[in-house]
A and B are shown apart, each in its own frame.
Chain A
Amino acid sequence: MTTTTTTAREQAPPGRGGRPGGKAPATRRRVLLPARLRRAGLPYLLLLPALLLELLVHLVPMVIGIVMSFKELTQLTIGNWDAAPWKALGNYRVTVDLDAPVGAALLHSFLVTCAFSVLAVGLCWLIGTAAAIFLQDNFRGRGLLRALFLTPYALPIYAAVITWAFMFQRDNGLVNHVLHDQLHLTDGRPFWLLGDNSFVALLVVAVWKTWPFAFLVVTAALQSIPKDLYEAAALDGAGLVRQIRRITLPSLRPVNQVLVLVLFLWTFNDFNTPYVLFGKAAPEAADLLSLHIYQSSFVTWNFGTGSAMSVLLLLFLLVVTAGYLLATSRGRKHADG
């Protein structure tokens, strides 16, 4: 990759120098020739800033992270991390040893994250799609509703999650006031940010702030379905349910393929929601992987194991993504053919 970028830099100036200034006659040959010369180098030059940034912020740190997962890294060795002693697969052995506390806690956190992601993605998709379909027809107030529905997505994550944290407070929160004081559904005032209830709290907050994205994407996709399809179906006597099942949902398939994947990756990697909702240490029932790893690295100062966990997480996501894309693409070809 580096070699191509240097050639890009070498080739670009001659291309620019060979440009026929302002006196280009309108014959196509004279205009196109220097353009062809430039074509070799220019795309790389245009990509260069993006490439450098991706290298600096994403790719090189990732490689370093992988290297670190094979090292013995604590607060004593982190200052000079490349001289830290190698540990081979030691970190991985600790993280996947299910009989030891570290491995058992990681497995538990992994299962919690899986359950959380599946539920959150399912709900977000369902609510988002339903809302988009319901707002497909033009009726009075539609624009207002659309703007309202996008508000959770527009709010800064921390502002929204802090508000939810206030609502879930045991003594002065809205949730307990409604459930206990007004509806008398619970005996005492339950804790929502501690214990098993925290999973529900986390799920509600995550769905609240993520479903508008599904709504936004599906709304955009619905606009590209030709109107005459529905009209033709209506003339053939197809009811609304049939129209949705036979026209809307199949047309959404390609969009859904990407949407569900993106939602899954976001929720699975979500750090902000649990971090703002619970602080540095989440209750066990809502111990999402990102926060779990953060805690293992920064609170207990064990960076080697933390890196090993992150690498395992990345590998898992790679496998899931690849499998998902293979399965859905094949399904799509079947449906088309």
Chain B
Amino acid sequence: MASTAHRPPRTAVRRRSPTAPPRSFRWIRRIFLTALTGFVLLPVYVMLSSSLKPLEDVSGTFHWLPSELTIRPYLDIWRTVPLARYFTNSLIVAGSATLCSVLIAIFAAYAVSRYRFRGKRVFTLTVLSTQMFPGILFLLPLFLIYVNIGNSTGVALYGSRGGLILTYLTFSLPFSIWMLAGYFASVPRELDEAAYVDGCGPLGALFRVVVPAALPGIVAVAVYAFMTAWGEVLFASVMTNDTTRTLSVGLQGYATQNDVYWNQVMAASLVVSVPVVAGFLLLQRYLVAGLTAGAVK
């Protein structure tokens, strides 16, 4: 309906209808949106243009346009720092954390949305309140726990990818459970019951009926979990060593050397952003849909 109304012949009646706003409003909208687009795109432009500049261009006064276009920075980044290794580490850590987090959140959200049981309120409140904890409060204790577990059982969590995966997947759990529980609640219970009648157990009903029906919400949660793990800095800076260092720490070190090759740093920033941004933009409609049906009630 809206699409037919946005290009009407301009009659007085049309202009008063809610889908065709008055002219002044459209001007304000145009100005606001243009300014906002500029603000949003400015760093993206700087990142892209600087990554194609030779070193002289980024060491002296800033220029909007490169004096010459070069792809050298994109070739050099792999040699100046072990970017490929950081990249692999980040992929493994973020990928595994996302998989586990989504699976565990599906189970927990199913329990919260479909069952009545003692301690449910306590569980949801506790899980949600962990969102409030300052990371700095449990950084050192968690570090000590990992070291102690390593010393007593030989399972190396500190300095390993496994420890980081455990940490990150827990970071995204509260929000994922909360959102999926809302989403599952919007899947009609009759579907579950139909599955029971067909001979499915609860898990069968969950994975054959509820999960497919709630797929947008699950995709949204997966995107969120991946981004959380891909972008985290604080715990990665303490919990990783040279071989397990992830992109967040590696790139930060790259940008705080004494002589910063800004063109290379920008190229590296762009390279590490592409997978997440592409994935996010592809899946963003699910995120909006997921928020509409799940969290926002």
Contact = CB atoms under 8 A, between A and B. Distances in A.
Nearest to A158: B248
Contact of A163 (B40, B196, B269): B269
14 contacts: A46-B107, A65-B141, A149-B40, A154-B277, A155-B273, A160-B43, A216-B287, A240-B21, A275-B233, A276-B252, A289-B134, A294-B139, A310-B136, A313-B136
A62 B144 CA distance: 12
A50 interface: yes
Contact of A47 (B107, B132, B272): B107
B132 A156 contact: no
Interface in A124-177: 127, 130-131, 134-135, 137-140, 145-160, 162-167, 169, 171-174, 176-177
Contacts of B46: 163, 166-167, 174
Contact of A171 (B19, B61, B173): B61
B123 interface: yes
Given A150-B281, A177-B62, A318 B117 contact: no
B126 A47 contact: no
User: Closest 5 CB pairs between A and B?
Assistant: A61-B138, A154-B280, A310-B137, A220-B291, A61-B141
A112 interface: no
A166 B48 CA distance: 13
| A47, A151, A223, A255 interface centre (most CB from chain B within 10 Å) | A47
B124 to A, nearest CB: 10
A224 B145 contact: no
A118 interface: no
B8 interface: no
Given A53-B169, A172-B262, A271-B136, A208 B43 contact: yes
Nearest to B119: A4
Interface of A: 1, 4, 16, 19, 22, 24, 26, 31-32, 35, 38-40, 42-44, 46-47, 49-51, 53-54, 56-62, 64-65, 68, 78, 81, 127, 130-131, 134-135, 137-140, 145-160, 162-167, 169, 171-174, 176-177, 181, 208, 216-217, 219-221, 223-224, 227, 230-231, 233-234, 239-240, 243, 254-255, 258, 262, 265, 269, 271-272, 275-276, 279, 289-290, 293-294, 297-298, 303, 306-307, 310-311, 313-314, 317-318, 321
Contacts of B141: 60-62, 64-65, 68
Interface residues of B, number: 109
Nearest to A294: B136
B260 to A, nearest CB: 8
B258 interface: no
B135 A271 contact: yes
Nearest to B205: A35
